[in-house]
Copies of this chain bind each other. A is one copy, B any other.
Amino acid sequence: MKIQVLVRLKNGVLDPQGKAVEKSALKMGFEGFKNFRIGKIIEFESNLPKNKAIEEAKKLADKLLSNPVIESYEVKVEE
């Protein structure tokens, strides 16, 4: 089973990286896009039973993969 943890900056947290990408996109002539936000995607495999894997993945996301002060995360499972 493959697990995806998507880590994003919380709403309201400034995203300088996103701003930089937005500026570059505009300079390159891409005008149809705005409000860029950059995050991380951490993918890994597990042989644990599905519910146990999700529970453990959330603990891992809390303790290692994200900074709870400024980031939120979402756990997805691909069978």
Contact = CB atoms under 8 A, between A and B. Distances in A.
A69 interface: no
A11 B34 CA distance: 31
Given A21-B65, A24-B64, A64-B24, A35 B30 contact: no
Interface of A: 3, 6, 8, 18, 21-22, 24-25, 28, 30, 32-48, 52-53, 56-57, 59-60, 63-65
A42 B21 contact: yes
Given A25-B64, A65-B21, A39 B40 contact: yes
Contacts of A45: 33-35
7 contacts: A8-B43, A28-B63, A30-B64, A32-B52, A32-B53, A37-B42, A40-B41
